[in-house]
Amino acid sequence: GENVEQHPSTLSVQEGDSAVIKCTYSDSASNYFPWYKQELGKGPQLIIDIRSNVGEKKDQRIAVTLNKTAKHFSLHITETQPEDSAVYFCAALNYGQNFVFGPGTRLSVLP
C-alpha cells in the first residue's frame, strides 16, 4: 500500500522568510496530492492540492510542486506570517483507495 513520508517534523522560520515542506510517496499510481493546515483544536483545512498531470500550482503565497519521477512533492510558503504557524499535513491518493497522510510538520513563524 501507499506510504507517505514528510520532512521536516518541525520547522521554525523568521517572519517574512520562506518555508518548504517535502513529502515522498511510494505508490506510483497515486495521482492526487493535497496539503492541509491544522490549527490547534481544529480540523485540517485544505489549502492547496495538485494532480499528477500538473507539475506546479500556485495560490498567492502558497505553491506546491510535484515530481512524479522521483515521487515527491513539496509545499512552499513565501513571505511567512505568524498566522501561518500550524501543523501541515501532506497526503496522497490513488482514486478508489483511501487518502494516506504524512506524519505532519509543525511550522512556527517567529515574529
Partner 1 sequence: GAVVSQHPSRVICKSGTSVKIECRSLDFQATTMFWYRQFPKQSLMLMATSNEGSKATYEQGVEKDKFLINHASLTLSTLTVTSAHPEDSSFYICSASTPELFFGSGTQLSVL
Q: How far is the CB of 13 from partner 1 (least distance, A)?
A: 20
**Site track for partner 1 across 14-53, x = CB under 8 A:** ------------------x-x-x----xxxxxx--x----
Q: How far is the CB of 48 from partner 1 (least distance, A)?
A: 11
Residue type at position 66: L
Cα angle 66, 67, 73 (rounded to 5 degrees) comes to 45
Please state, in angstroms and rounded to a whole number, the distance separating the CA atoms of residues 23 and 8: 9
Instruction: Identify any residues that bridge with 65 across adjacent strands, giving them in sequence order.
Output: 56, 74
- The residues that touch partner 1, with contacts defined as CB under 8 A, are 32, 34, 36, 41-46, 49, 89, 91, 93, 95, 98-99, 101-104, 106
